[in-house]
Amino acid sequence: MTAPILLWLRRDLRLADQAALRAAAGEGPVIPVYILDDETPKHRRMGGASRWWLHHSLASLDADLRARSSRLILRRGNSADVLARLMEETGALRIHALHHYEPWWRNAERAVARAHDLVLHHGNYLLPPGTLTTGNGAPYKIYTPFMRALMRHMPPAPPLPAPNAISAPAHWPESDRLEDWALLPTRPNWAAGFAEEWTPGEAGARQRLCDFSPHAARYDTTRNLPSEEGSSRLSPHLHFGEISPALVWHGIQDNGAGAQIFLSELIWRDYAQNIILAFPDYGRVNGRSAFDAFPWRDHEGEAAADLATWKAGRTGYPIVDAGMRQLWATGWMHNRVRMIAASFLIKHLLIDWRVGEQWFWDTLVDADYAQNAVNWQWVAGSGVDANMFVRIMAPLTQSEKFDAADYIRQWVPELAHLGTAVIHDPDASGVRPTAYPPKIIDHRTARERALAAHAHTKG
């Protein structure tokens, strides 16, 4: 019997357009392995919402593998150590995997490669991160020139189908039981509403793409309207690698100008990975060192109550509160509202962007180290490519401009009876119900305080 090959899976939980799987299957019997590794990422271990998604994604992947005479082996521990034990137990010839670019995964890949024959493949991004550089060979820091450079290489190669069958080893190694990993919340089950919103797994990802494709032509308009279903909602599927970006690109590209705006969002995803490749600590270190002097309020002291109010969706700003409640109920937030909610925490409450980034890391089903860090630093103005801090979003204006009335009615039921003319700012119209809190801070006061704080970064 040919020696088996280990397929090391991480955020690439699919069978179609999976270069590592194809390469492994071409060499002999394949042992697909997923390792729940909370040791290698240390403080970047997956958050609660991501664990909910992971449980269901792994169950779906195992079912897909069993339909092809294979199965998923589950182990827990340090990735390099677990893979070493599996190599010894199974007599495996080598390990195939897709490249990952989070700093902890790059460290793990180096550790595995020092001891074993590790073959890494590309396939989680449109182009391998690090491929594109400026004229002087430096990594791109600014998105627009990065996008233009990447577009010269598009479209990506057509995606390859999943194999019909996968050769099994003579003997399977022991596997953990998924249920024993306790990835799902129970006491309390705060994810009760997630299943109504999401179907994790490769089939769910393809269905999302199919559902979104006919609407992609209007994406340039609808993506900013929280009350409409304009978002693709593919982000968690892409994050967990249940669908390849190449498959998404080819499924969307022929849907007009609006679709091109959506494809630029896929490119932003690549851009974020290139940023963390160049700046591995981007999730905790300001891209612009001037922000190291910013006088953030103490989120564990004077600002602790404000932070709790923001998390609970009780700020008195309906659009912010709707977003924070949607996040808690579904593990996801509309993209326009994410910017508004993040800006509110940073600029109205003067709470460090890293605090918000950590909250999103724990509560988003699509929590992605690169995109989370790049997006929060963009809003804060601290990033290498960022919005100017002095451009302070006015939540009430944003709410009305982007027609968020029905979105607010859905997620802030205390205000559901209010008319569209007053629902964005019930305080100002004198119609705020007693069950809904007053504004935590006046917008003008918050703006002046934020500008005064920002002056400390100019020294």
Where in the sequence numbering do the catalytic residues fall?
265, 268, 296, 335, 353, 376
DSSP structural state of residue 244: -
Q: How many residues does the chain have?
A: 459
Half-sphere exposure for 268 (CA within 13 Å, toward CB): 16
Task: Provide the 3-class DSSP secondary structure of residue 139.
Answer: strand
What sign for the dihedral angle of Cα 103, 106, 112, 113?
negative
Angle at 219 between CA 214 and CA 224, to 5 degrees: 140
Using the CB atoms, write b or e for 301-321: b if 16+ within 10 Å: eebeebbebbbebbbbbbbbb
Q: Indicate the SS3 state at residue 267.
A: helix
Residue keyed to tokens 């700003």 = 317
C-alpha pair distances (Å), 195 with each of 14, 182, 235, 242, 323:
20, 17, 16, 17, 19
Residue 406 corresponds to which tokens in the numbers above?
Answer: 């029905």
Distances (CA, A) of 226 to 212, 325, 326, 347, 377: 16, 13, 11, 22, 23
Residue 11: count of CB within 10 angstroms of its CB: 18
| Rg for the chain, CA atoms, rounded | 23
Handedness of CA 247, 250, 256, 261 (dihedral sign): positive
Report in angstroms the alpha-carbon separations of 117 from 36, 81, 87, 98, 425.
21, 14, 10, 14, 61
Distances (CA, A) of 171 to 6, 27, 28, 92, 168: 13, 17, 13, 11, 8
DSSP state of 64: H
